[in-house]
């Protein structure tokens, strides 16, 4: 069998790229990072989701800290704001939205005011003066103090209480005294009973770097000047000022004004580099089925108690779009939403020149396409990973190690184990049965029964082709091998007279339809047409139907399988994530070879859906589930009354394919092929067989090592264990076998291991 | 010149024997090569025929981790 060459040079022109624009438009489909609707609606950009989470946990200190990021005066804001967040709460669609404002007020009351004020912070050098009173000057002074500017307020009022009373009539006594305390704690200098006229303004113009004023003061000083509401600036007078009335107008105006002050203080254009301001649109998807508490928690007094506020916050469903991560064990394993993971994989393949740390995640995706179905925007992670793999292959940067075993297995299927024959007695056949490599490897008796049945009941003759459809090299991104596999299959099909292909596996059907074209149907289509054969029997217990990822988007196949199951008398259990939403079994995309750990997690996740036996229509699914100890049957096993039994190990899978070919050649075409017989006696300990399966070492590899030992006598003896150890370099790996020799020409294998590095003796 | 690394010590000395030459393996000079990289190492070697032995714990430990690091370069 020919080998596959390990990569050599790493300087090959890049092909198979995703363009930057394509990647950006792909990443934009993932709405995970979009803000929740409450935050998006808030002009002050309060992280409402995190705020409610902290409050729900009773952590009002943290809740208040988050709230104070949005405003310097939490009680004033919570009692006076129009609460656009509440109107946008998704719970409104099913019941009462969250009473965000009431929870904010509770946080402002029960949260601790930060004891360490800004007094200890290093102040900025540029100074700012705020003239006037009311909500805008109050909020602006607070915002600027947060930004560490030395702020001085000049007002007409006589004292701090009178200043705070301006435009805050809605505050009750308790709230007023709390906010007064908060104001006193801030590092703001006040001058009271000021006469804010033109001459006063002219004097301060010389003293301060930036001047700000309330709307009333600014209009009085400069009645003709125009004010830009986006910048909160009278540009001709270089005066930052407020506009409009109401708490939110003042709070939002103060935020914008503070940015303008910041830009002016640095002598920069106030129009540039302002970042995102004000409310935004969100595309976030929220699964409202998770919402259970739909009624607002009533208030026992005029505001929430701490406990009531926490209970109300607990009703928040913490809007996050995690539809893909909920269903895909691969994304869950890497704990990254697809937008981010795709960006990282893109950078890994097309930008980064050093280590490729994303090789593993890129090769761990099963390429099954489930994410595209469950994502509200159809994000296609499989496309990203498949293109990345092809790109890595084309630039010669894809390591062979993760996929070599599978690729060699494919070469075996289309080499030693390949068989293509017309039905005995036919010169050309109308059909060719293509059961797929996994069916021959896992359930050879079922394949034989199916073929004999098709030969008997279909008119026009049914040829047989045992081989691989090319899905393996497609999944591995080895596009050149894919081309040669396609050519090979086209030639073989042409020799048969290009019959209609009857695929035994949905993935083969899909792959063959895309690669060789022509008419490709499934054996299920035929069975639906000609009916079940004699001996077909269902299961005694109800069974969960697992849809194959090869049949995703193929409602016709999914429905026929259900119909066949009904006719077999199987009571089917439809699980969550069935049909197009079905998860992969862990075999797809070669995950089982490249990353067995993630593949196991994927299989377990697929099995979480039901405790019942699983019925599938892809042999790889049948095998993966049985390996996890679940009663697992391929629908063809039920149709033909066969039972493939315990899953075979990797060597048995090869033997099964060869043996099926040999048996069929003899029984149907009377062609004799010699059964390969060893000229020595070989036994394996159970442990050795288990290790070999896990380490992907075949009995053929072991035999090659022992044959080499018998020829050369090269081995070592470990006197501690009493085991001999021999080795041979086969393809891209060196295989080591631990064995004992039991008399002449008899060996027992106790263990085996391999490494890909080549080792040689070094002189000098 | 890369630093020679000793990843394995024959303990007790003489426990490994070359079946072809019937002599104990000794610490000797060897080289690992993978994907255009070479690493000088010291491994158990037959002083007569030059058989280089890579013990299982080394193959599945250090050798595997270096392989993976090089594959991702």
**pLDDT for A585-616, tens place per residue?**
999 999 999 999 999 999 999 999 999 999 99
For residue A364, whether the previous peptide bond is cis, meaning omega lies within 30 degrees of 0, is no
The count of domains in chain B is 1
Q: What is the complex's ipTM, to 2 decimals?
A: 0.95
- Count of Cβ atoms closer than 10 Å to residue A170 Cβ: 11
Q: Is pLDDT above 70 for A759?
A: yes
At A729, give phi and psi (nearest 5°).
Answer: -85, 120
Q: CATH number for the A681-755 domain, one of 3.30.70, 3.90.1200, 3.40.50, 3.30.2310?
A: 3.30.2310
Provide the residue range defining the domain that includes B29: 5-71
Contact A712 B20 (CB under 8 A): yes
What topology is assigned to A119-265 in CATH? FAD/NAD(P)-binding domain (3.50.50)
Q: Compare all CA atoms of chain A with the CA of B49 and give the residue at the minimum distance.
A: A714
pLDDT digits (tens, 9 = 90+) for A414-469: 999 999 999 999 999 999 999 999 999 999 999 999 999 999 999 999 999 999 99
Tokens coding B13: 């000395």
pLDDT score recorded for residue A356:
76
Query: Could you tell me the pLDDT band of residue A18, with boundaries at 50, 70 and 90?
Result: confident
Contact B63 A757 (CB under 8 A): yes
Q: Is pLDDT above 90 for A14?
A: no
Question: Can you give the three-state secondary structure of A706-718, one letter per residue?
Answer: HHHHHHHCCCEEE
Query: Could you tell me the pLDDT band of residue A245, with boundaries at 50, 70 and 90?
Result: confident
- CATH number for the domain that contains residue B19: 3.10.20
Tokens coding A121: 């912070």
**Which of the two residues, A3 and A136, has the higher pLDDT score?**
A136
Residue A105 in contact with residue A304, Cβ under 8 Å? yes
Q: Is pLDDT above 90 for A58?
A: yes
Measured between alpha carbons, how far is residue A270 from residues A131, A398, A410, A730 in Å? 20, 49, 64, 69
Mean of per-residue pLDDT scores for chain A: 93
Listed residue (A640, A661, A664, A663) closest to A424, CA to CA = A664
Contact B56 A712 (CB under 8 A): no
Distance from CA of B35 to the nearest CA of A (A): 7
pLDDT score recorded for residue A361:
94
pLDDT score recorded for residue A353:
63
For testing contact with chain B, the best of A757, A758, A760, A763 (most B CBs within 10 A): A757
pLDDT score recorded for residue A499:
98
Listed residue (A673, A653, A733) closest to A409, CA to CA = A653
**Which of the two residues, A396 and A754, has the higher pLDDT score?**
A754
pLDDT digits (tens, 9 = 90+) for A312-358: 999 999 999 999 999 999 999 999 999 999 999 988 877 666 677 78
pLDDT digits (tens, 9 = 90+) for A141-150: 999 999 999 9
A to B CB pairs, distance under 8 Å = 100
Query: Could you tell me the pLDDT band of residue A699, with boundaries at 50, 70 and 90?
Result: very high
| One fold for A119-265 and A681-755 | no
pLDDT digits (tens, 9 = 90+) for A471-500: 999 999 999 999 999 999 999 999 999 999
Residue A7 in contact with residue B36, Cβ under 8 Å? no
Q: Is pLDDT above 50 for A10?
A: no
Option in B32, B35, B72 nearest A357 (CB): B72
Query: Could you tell me the pLDDT band of residue A39, with boundaries at 50, 70 and 90?
Result: very high
A503-522: average pLDDT: 96
Please report residues of B whose CB lies closer than 8 A to that of A764: 29
Domain range list for chain A = 24-32+322-394, 119-265, 404-661, 681-755
Contact B52 A758 (CB under 8 A): no
Measured between alpha carbons, how far is residue A466 from residues A28, A420, A435, A564 in Å? 44, 6, 7, 25
């Amino acid at each position: 069998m020919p080998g596959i060459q390990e990569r050599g040079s790493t300087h090959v022109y890049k092909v198979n790229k995703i363009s930057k624009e394509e990647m950006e438009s792909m990443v934009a489909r993932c709405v995970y990072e979009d803000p929740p609707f409450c935050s998006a609606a808030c002009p002050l950009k309060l992280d409402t989701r995190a705020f409610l989470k902290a409050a729900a946990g009773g952590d009002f200190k943290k809740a208040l800290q988050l709230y104070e990021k949005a405003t310097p005066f939490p009680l004033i804001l919570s009692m006076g704001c129009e609460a656009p967040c509440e109107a946008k709460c998704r719970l409104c669609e099913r019941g009462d939205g969250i009473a965000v404002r009431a929870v904010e007020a509770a946080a402002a009351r029960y949260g601790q005011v930060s004891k360490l004020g800004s007094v200890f912070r290093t102040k900025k050098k540029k100074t700012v003066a705020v003239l006037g009173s009311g909500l805008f000057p109050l909020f602006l002074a607070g915002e600027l103090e947060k930004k560490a500017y030395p702020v001085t307020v000049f007002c007409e009022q006589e004292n701090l209480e009178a200043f705070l009373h301006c435009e805050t009539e809605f505050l009750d006594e308790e709230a007023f005294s709390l906010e007064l305390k908060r104001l006193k704690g801030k590092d703001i200098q006040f001058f009271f009973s000021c006469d804010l006229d033109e001459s006063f303004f002219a004097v301060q113009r010389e003293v301060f770097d930036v001047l700000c004023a309330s709307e009333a003061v600014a209009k009085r000083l400069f009645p003709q000047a125009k004010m830009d509401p986006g910048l909160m600036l009278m540009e001709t007078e270089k005066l930052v000022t407020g506009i409009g009335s109401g708490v939110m107008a003042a709070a939002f105006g103060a935020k914008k004004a503070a940015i303008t002050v910041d830009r002016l203080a640095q002598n920069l254009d106030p129009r540039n580099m302002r970042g995102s301001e004000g409310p935004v649109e969100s595309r976030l998807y929220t699964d409202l089925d998770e919402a259970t508490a739909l009624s607002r928690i009533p208030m026992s007094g005029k505001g929430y108690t701490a406990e009531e506020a926490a209970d109300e916050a607990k009703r928040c469903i913490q809007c996050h779009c995690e539809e893909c991560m909920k269903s895909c064990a691969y994304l869950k394993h890497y704990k990254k939403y697809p937008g981010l993971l795709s960006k990282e994989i893109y950078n890994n393949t097309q930008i980064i020149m050093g280590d490729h740390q994303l090789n593993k995640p890129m090769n761990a995706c099963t390429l099954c396409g489930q994410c595209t179905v469950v994502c509200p925007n159809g994000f296609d992670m499989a496309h990203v990973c498949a293109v990345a793999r092809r790109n890595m292959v084309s630039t010669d940067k894809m390591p062979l190690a993760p996929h070599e075993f599978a690729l060699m297995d494919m070469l075996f299927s289309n080499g030693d184990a390949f068989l293509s024959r017309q039905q005995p007695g036919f010169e050309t056949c109308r059909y060719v049965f293509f059961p797929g490599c996994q069916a021959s490897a896992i359930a050879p008796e079922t394949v034989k029964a199916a073929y004999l049945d098709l030969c008997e009941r279909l008119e026009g003759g049914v040829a047989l082709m045992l081989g691989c459809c090319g899905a393996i090299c497609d999944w591995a991104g080895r596009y050149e091998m894919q081309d040669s596999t396609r050519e090979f299959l086209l030639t073989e099909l042409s020799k048969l007279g290009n019959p209609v292909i009857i695929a035994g596996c949905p993935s083969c059907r899909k792959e063959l339809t895309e690669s060789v074209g022509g008419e490709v149907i499934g054996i299920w289509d035929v069975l639906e047409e000609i009916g079940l054969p004699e001996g077909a029997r269902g299961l005694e217990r109800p069974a969960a139907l697992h849809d194959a990822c090869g049949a995703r988007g193929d409602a016709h196949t999914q429905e026929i399988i259900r119909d066949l199951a009904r006719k077999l008398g199987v009571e089917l259990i439809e699980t969550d994530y069935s049909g197009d939403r079905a998860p992969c079994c862990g075999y797809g995309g070669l995950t089982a070879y490249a990353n067995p750990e993630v593949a196991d997690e994927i299989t377990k996740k697929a099995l979480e859906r039901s405790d019942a036996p699983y019925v599938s229509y892809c042999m790889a699914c049948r095998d993966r589930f049985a390996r996890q100890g679940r009663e697992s049957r391929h629908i063809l096993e039920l149709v033909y009354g066969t039972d493939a039994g315990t899953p075979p190990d990797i060597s048995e899978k090869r033997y099964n394919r060869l043996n099926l070919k040999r048996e069929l050649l003899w029984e149907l075409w009377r062609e004799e092929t010699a059964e390969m017989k060893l000229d020595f006696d070989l036994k394996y300990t159970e442990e050795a067989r288990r290790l070999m399966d896990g380490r992907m070492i075949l009995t053929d590899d072991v035999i090659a090592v022992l044959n080499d030992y018998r020829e050369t006598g090269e081995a070592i003896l470990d006197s501690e264990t009493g085991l001999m150890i021999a080795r041979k370099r086969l393809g891209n790996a060196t295989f080591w076998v631990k064995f004992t020799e039991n008399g002449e020409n008899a060996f027992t294998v106790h263990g085996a291991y391999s490494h890909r590095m080549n080792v040689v003796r070094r002189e000098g | 010149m890369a630093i020679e690394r000793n990843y394995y010590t024959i303990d007790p000395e003489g426990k490994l024997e070359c079946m072809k030459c019937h002599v104990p393996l000794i610490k000797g000079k060897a080289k690992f090569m993978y994907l255009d990289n070479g690493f000088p190492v010291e491994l158990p070697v037959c002083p007569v025929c030059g058989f280089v032995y890579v013990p299982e714990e080394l193959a599945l430990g250090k050798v595997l981790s270096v392989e993976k690091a090089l594959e991702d370069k």
